[in-house]
């Protein structure tokens, strides 16, 4: 029998967090190896484990997979979270892509200066409330179903809940004008595997702190300043 999946990344969110979310939603256990030193990262490079010299990397089904989107697509398909046909898969891809665009405004937030963080916080809230949340509010209202696609729990639902919670960390009442999304958040959060992942002690990572930022900078030799979008 194959061993547990193994994730290689930092002890923090970054691009790996959506992978953790999807595995947790599917009820799949996984192990993690946290990169804390430049030497660990260089060993993965020397071993040929990182095809494009980047993490995240996931060991799954005898493969060493890189590229976040490829990893997520594989997991979604493997664990029946990718729709029942080509049309549903296309809708899931479309919704996940939109959510990714929103998450992109948040991903580099921890690496900004204090001044740029305040500017970026406003950008995140503005983009969420004027572009992305209205779109999902309309989708849910128009089809009147519990989930985004095919009235079945999918990767698109997992990804959107992750994004909602991340934006709420920037503005706690950001869903005040979106009743459909408020109900959606409650429904998805109550799914047993998601509920378990949201509980203390799970492998969900907290809001990135200075230690996480310093570790990433050290391991990846990031000596330049990140600028706000």
Which token pair is 150?
């095919």
Domains of the chain: 6-79+199-220 (3.40.30.10), 86-190 (1.20.1050.10)
pTM: 0.95
pLDDT in tens, the chain (229 residues): 356 899 999 999 999 999 999 999 999 999 999 999 999 999 999 999 999 999 999 999 999 999 999 999 999 999 999 999 999 999 999 999 999 999 999 999 999 999 999 999 999 999 999 999 999 999 999 999 999 999 999 999 999 999 999 999 999 999 999 999 999 999 999 999 999 999 999 999 999 999 999 999 999 987 655 555 5
């Amino acid at each position: 029998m194959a061993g547990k999946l193994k994730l290689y990344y930092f002890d923090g969110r970054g691009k790996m967090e959506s992978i953790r979310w999807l595995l947790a939603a599917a009820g799949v256990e996984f192990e993690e190896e946290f990169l804390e030193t430049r030497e660990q990262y260089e060993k993965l490079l020397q071993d040929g484990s990182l095809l494009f010299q980047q993490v995240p990397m996931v060991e799954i089904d005898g493969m060493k997979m890189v590229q976040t989107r490829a990893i997520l697509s594989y997991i979604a398909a493997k664990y029946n979270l990718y729709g029942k046909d080509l049309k549903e898969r296309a809708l899931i891809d479309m919704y996940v892509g939109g959510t990714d665009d929103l998450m992109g405004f948040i991903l580099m937030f921890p690496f900004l200066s204090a001044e740029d963080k305040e500017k970026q916080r406003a950008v995140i809230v503005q983009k969420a409330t004027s572009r992305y949340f209205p779109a999902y509010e309309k989708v849910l209202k128009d089809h009147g179903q519990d989930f985004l696609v095919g009235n079945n729990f999918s990767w698109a639902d997992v990804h959107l809940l992750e994004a909602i919670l991340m934006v709420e960390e920037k503005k706690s009442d950001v869903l005040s004008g979106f009743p459909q999304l408020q109900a959606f958040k409650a429904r998805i959060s109550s799914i047993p595997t998601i509920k378990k992942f949201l509980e203390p002690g799970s492998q969900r990572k907290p809001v990135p702190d200075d230690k996480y930022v310093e570790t990433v900078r050290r391991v990846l030799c990031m000596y330049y300043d990140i600028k706000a979008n």
